[in-house]
């Protein structure tokens, strides 16, 4: 399965990005890593060019809330019905209520949302989600 | 035996031998070869056909239509390769919007179709064929996913299939398309009577001048006093080219050359004068700039040396403005870290070093709020092209 991944917006957390890349490869995914400082449009375009099954966006500086709010608009411009949209990391700035964050990102159009959750737990959930699908 | 280099421009031709460059105004009553022979046959006759190298920007170049799958990869990569191959006129269509886009009315020299990494199937379908049926083109090439090749070969006569410009890691692969476009440019100019005759004096391929300038960039700081990162701005009669170091760009393209080219096809001082004036009048800072230059708006309508100088200065300002962060265009250069600006082309015959420095400093102070500006260098001898030929 193909996964497009990278860090969204003005976020340069490259170590976390590399760990996600390695972990995904270890689990047998074909990874297209766009690296840090990636815009939402580039993620979507990479999914189209590679015909990826999963888009996994990470964010650590908490700005994903701003950078990802146009996801639904971009999703409506192309046929992404077989693509799983996932986001994880530190998704809020300051003291956020995780119970509010997850539904917010789901309303943006993400199928799977992980706020301050261990990477392997998140990837286990992704695999389970793909299997069920 | 040394070599003789000749550059055929739209207003001058330049002849370089043993590091010495001579320039001659074109006489448009004669064809290029006769004009060349009348002015420097003694020099030309000293060299064998193998030792004469020619580049030309005099015959316009190819028009291109690119059909691509996405803006961030296929279209972006194809535009980048086309500009670096010396092509000036580029139109693009996003495949998902193909049905709603108007079909170009003019004849297109080459259509480039691109999209998908090699493993992706069914990228293009009947929709592409229906669109292309309405386009009047002379050549077509496919540089997309390998799994779509058979469909396109079966349905599009004379399509030239090349290596995918998008690698399996989503990186740019430019060589195959670059060679194809450069060869196409050559066959195009060979077909033009004026250029065809030049093969009487050379046995080497005649290249497009922008392609040669792009090739010379890695050698510039060995020969001229410029510091990386730098840009080369070629302001000519019809278009303005900007060649820039990739250190100035923050995007996903990694090319081997390290330098790219961008063309502003409507920013010229003679043939595109009207559109230059139009662009200037629509720029919010231009009136302040005119005041700074101690002239009024009326200068834009005048035909005088002073007016030409002012237009050249405006062109420098507008080019910098268009690639700055204040103007979200195809390319945004990080001008904050720019160390040198090299100016070449007709502009070096019109403006002095001080006049150029003046305008660059105005841009840096006014737009970027800097107190200093990069160093500027005028290629007054017009020798940069000789490094790459």
B358 contacts: CB under 8 Å, gap ≥ 6 = B313
Least Cα separation, residue B147 to chain A (angstroms): 12
Quote the Cα angle for B320-B326-B328, to 5°: 95
Q: Any CB–CB contact under 8 A between A24 and chain B? A: no
Q: Give me the pLDDT at residue A126, please.
A: 96
User: Using the beta-carbon criterion (under 8 Å), do A34 and B71 form an inter-chain contact?
Assistant: no
Q: Give me the pLDDT at residue B266, please.
A: 61
**What ipTM, to 2 d.p.?**
0.92
Q: Is the pLDDT assigned to residue B340 strictly greater than 80?
A: yes
The answer to the question of residue A124 being in a domain is: no
Specify the range with the lowest mean pLDDT, choosing from B161-170, B207-216, B349-358.
Answer: B207-216
Q: Give me the pLDDT at residue B312, please.
A: 87
Given a contact cutoff of 8 angstroms between Cβ atoms, the answer to whether B256 and B84 are in contact is: no
Which of B151 and B58 is assigned the larger pLDDT?
A: B151
CA dihedral B64, B70, B72, B77 (to 10 degrees): -40
Quote the Cα angle for B67-A70-A132, to 5°: 90
Q: Give me the pLDDT at residue A47, please.
A: 97
Q: Give me the pLDDT at residue B121, please.
A: 92
Q: Give me the pLDDT at residue B265, please.
A: 63
Q: Give me the pLDDT at residue A7, please.
A: 93
B101 and B201 fall within a common domain: no
Backbone angles phi, psi at A33, to 5 degrees: -95, 115
What's the token pair of residue A109?
């159009």
Determine the residue of chain B that is closest to A42 in CA distance.
Answer: B72
Q: Residue with structure tokens 């792009």?
A: B214
**Chain A residues touching B74 at Cβ < 8 A:** 49
Number of domains in chain B: 3
Q: Is the pLDDT assigned to residue B317 strictly greater than 70?
A: yes
Query: DSSP code of A106?
Result: H
Q: Give me the pLDDT at residue B191, please.
A: 65
Instruction: Pick from A41, A49, A51, A77 the residue to mutate for testing the B interface (most B CBs within 10 Å).
Output: A49
B198 and B293 fall within a common domain: no
B52 and B79 fall within a common domain: no
B133 C-beta neighbours (distance < 10 Å), count:
9
Convert B26-50 to b/e letters by CB count within 10 Å (16 or more is b).
beeeebbbebbbebbeebbeebeee
Q: Give me the pLDDT at residue B328, please.
A: 57
What's the token pair of residue B329?
């265009």
> In angstroms, how far is CA B167 from the centroid of its own chain?
25
B165 and B197 fall within a common domain: no
Which of B315 and B326 is assigned the larger pLDDT?
A: B315
Q: Any idea how long chain A is?
A: 133
What's the token pair of residue B223?
């020969």
Cα B292 to Cα B42: distance, rounded to the nearest angstrom: 48
Burial of B157 by CB count in 10 Å (0-12 exposed, 13-18 middle, 19+ buried)? exposed
A26 C-beta neighbours (distance < 10 Å), count:
9
The answer to the question of residue A133 being in a domain is: no
Q: Any CB–CB contact under 8 A between A45 and chain B? A: yes
Convert A54-84 to b/e letters by CB count within 10 Å (16 or more is b).
bbbbbbbebbbbebbeebeebbeeeebeebb
Q: Give me the pLDDT at residue A41, please.
A: 94
Look up A115 and say whether it is catalytic.
no
Residues 60-119 of B with CB under 8 A from A: 69-74, 96, 115-117, 119
Determine the residue of chain A that is closest to B253 in CA distance.
Answer: A34
User: Using the beta-carbon criterion (under 8 Å), do A51 and B116 form an inter-chain contact?
Assistant: yes
User: Using the beta-carbon criterion (under 8 Å), do B71 and A50 form an inter-chain contact?
Assistant: no
Q: What is the CATH number of the domain that holds B370?
A: 3.30.420
Residues 76-95 of A with CB under 8 A from B: 77-78
Q: Give me the pLDDT at residue A112, please.
A: 96
Convert B84-96 to b/e letters by CB count within 10 Å (16 or more is b).
bbbbbbbebbbbe
Q: Any CB–CB contact under 8 A between B169 and chain A? A: yes
Q: Which domain holds residue A24?
A: 2-97+105-118
What's the token pair of residue A64?
């994903």
3-state secondary structure of B229: coil
Given a contact cutoff of 8 angstroms between Cβ atoms, the answer to whether B262 and B331 are in contact is: yes
Using CB atoms, pick whichever of B96, B116, B121 lies closest to residue A49.
Answer: B116
The answer to the question of residue A57 being in a domain is: yes
Cα A63 to Cα B372: distance, rounded to the nearest angstrom: 34
Question: Residue B8: pLDDT band by 50, 70, 90 thresholds?
Answer: confident
Q: Any CB–CB contact under 8 A between A53 and chain B? A: no
Using CB atoms, pick whichever of B72, B74, B120 lies closest to residue A41.
Answer: B72
Given a contact cutoff of 8 angstroms between Cβ atoms, the answer to whether B103 and B130 are in contact is: no
Longest alpha-carbon distance in chain B: 64
Cα B229 to Cα B247: distance, rounded to the nearest angstrom: 6
B170 and B225 fall within a common domain: no
Q: Residue with structure tokens 């440019």?
A: B185
What is the full per-residue pLDDT of chain A (133 aa) written as tens digits? 999 999 998 888 888 899 999 999 999 999 999 998 899 999 999 999 999 999 999 998 788 888 899 999 999 988 898 999 999 998 887 777 778 889 999 999 999 999 989 999 999 999 999 999 8
DSSP E strand boundaries for chain B: 4-8, 12-17, 20-25, 52-56, 63-68, 89-94, 108-114, 137-142, 160-161, 207-208, 230-235, 240-245, 259-264, 340-344, 375-378
Q: What is the CATH number of the domain that holds A111?
A: 3.40.50.280
Q: What is the DSSP string of B61-101?
A: --EEEEEES-IIIIIHHHHHHHHHTT--EEEEEEGGGGGGS
Given a contact cutoff of 8 angstroms between Cβ atoms, the answer to whether B87 and B185 are in contact is: yes
Q: Give me the pLDDT at residue B182, please.
A: 84
Q: Is the pLDDT assigned to residue B86 strictly greater than 80?
A: no
Least Cα separation, residue A69 to chain B (angstroms): 19
User: What is the mean predicted confidence (pLDDT) over B289-316?
Assistant: 88
Q: Any CB–CB contact under 8 A between A50 and chain B? A: yes
Which of B137 and B301 is assigned the larger pLDDT?
A: B137
Q: Which domain holds residue B41?
A: 4-59+192-205
Cα B27 to Cα B281: distance, rounded to the nearest angstrom: 34
Q: Residue with structure tokens 């250029």?
A: B195
Using CB atoms, pick whichever of A41, A44, A49 lies closest to residue B170.
Answer: A49
Output the average pLDDT for chain B. 86
Query: DSSP code of B251?
Result: S
Q: Is the pLDDT assigned to residue B190 strictly greater than 70?
A: no
Q: Is the pLDDT assigned to residue B330 strictly greater than 70?
A: no
Cα B286 to Cα B296: distance, rounded to the nearest angstrom: 11
Q: Give me the pLDDT at residue B23, please.
A: 83
Number of domains in chain A: 1
B260 and B380 fall within a common domain: yes
Given a contact cutoff of 8 angstroms between Cβ atoms, the answer to whether B224 and B203 are in contact is: no
User: Using the beta-carbon criterion (under 8 Å), do A41 and B120 form an inter-chain contact?
Assistant: no
Given a contact cutoff of 8 angstroms between Cβ atoms, the answer to whether B213 and B85 are in contact is: no
B243 and B152 fall within a common domain: no
The answer to the question of residue A20 being in a domain is: yes
């Amino acid at each position: 399965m193909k996964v497009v991944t990278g860090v969204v917006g003005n976020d340069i957390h490259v170590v976390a990005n590399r760990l996600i890349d390695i972990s995904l490869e270890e689990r047998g995914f074909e990874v297209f890593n766009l690296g840090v400082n990636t815009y939402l449009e580039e993620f979507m375009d990479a999914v189209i060019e590679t015909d990826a099954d999963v888009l996994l966006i990470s964010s650590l500086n908490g700005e994903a809330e701003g950078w990802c709010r146009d996801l639904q608009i971009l999703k409506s411009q192309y046929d992404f019905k077989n693509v799983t949209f996932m986001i994880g990391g530190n998704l809020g700035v300051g003291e956020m209520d995780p119970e509010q964050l997850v539904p917010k990102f789901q309303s943006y159009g993400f199928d799977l949302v992980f706020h301050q959750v261990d990477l392997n737990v998140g990837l286990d959930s992704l695999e389970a989600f793909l299997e069920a699908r | 035996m040394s070599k003789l280099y000749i550059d055929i421009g739209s207003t001058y031709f330049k002849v370089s031998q043993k590091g010495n460059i001579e320039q001659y105004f074109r006489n448009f009553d004669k064809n290029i070869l006769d004009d060349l022979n009348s002015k420097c046959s003694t020099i030309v006759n000293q060299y064998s056909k193998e030792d004469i190298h020619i580049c030309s920007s005099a015959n316009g170049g190819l028009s291109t239509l690119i059909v691509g799958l996405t803006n961030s990869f296929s279209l972006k990569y194809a535009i980048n390769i086309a500009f670096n191959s010396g092509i000036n006129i580029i139109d693009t269509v996003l495949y998902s919007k193909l049905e709603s886009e108007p079909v170009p009315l003019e004849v297109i020299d080459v259509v480039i179709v691109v999209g998908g990494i090699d493993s992706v199937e069914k990228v293009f379908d009947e929709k592409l064929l229906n669109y292309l049926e309405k386009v009047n083109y002379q050549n077509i090439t496919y540089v997309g996913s390998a799994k779509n090749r058979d469909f396109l070969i079966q349905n599009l006569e004379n399509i030239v299939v090349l290596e995918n410009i998008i690698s399996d890691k989503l990186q740019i692969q430019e060589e195959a398309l670059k060679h194809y476009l450069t060869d196409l440019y050559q066959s195009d100019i060979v077909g033009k009577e004026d250029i065809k005759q030049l093969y009487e004096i050379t046995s080497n391929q005649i290249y497009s001048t922008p392609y040669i300038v792009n090739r010379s960039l890695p050698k510039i700081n060995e020969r001229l006093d410029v510091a990386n990162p730098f840009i080369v701005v070629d302001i000519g009669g019809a278009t303005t080219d900007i060649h820039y170091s990739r250190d100035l760009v923050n995007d996903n393209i990694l090319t081997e050359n390290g330098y790219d080219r961008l063309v502003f096809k409507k920013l010229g001082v003679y043939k595109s004068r009207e559109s230059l004036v139009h662009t200037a009048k629509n720029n919010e800072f231009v009136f302040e700039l005119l005041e700074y230059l101690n002239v009024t708006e009326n200068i834009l309508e005048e035909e005088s040396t002073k007016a030409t100088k002012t237009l050249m200065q405006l062109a420098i300002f507008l080019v910098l403005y268009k690639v700055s962060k204040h103007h979200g265009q195809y390319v945004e250069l990080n001008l904050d870290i720019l160390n040198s600006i090299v100016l070449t082309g007709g502009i070096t015959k019109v403006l002095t070093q001080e006049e150029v420095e003046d305008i660059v400093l105005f841009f840096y102070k006014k737009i970027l709020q800097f107190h200093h500006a990069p160093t500027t260098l005028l290629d007054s001898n017009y020798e940069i092209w000789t490094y790459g030929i």
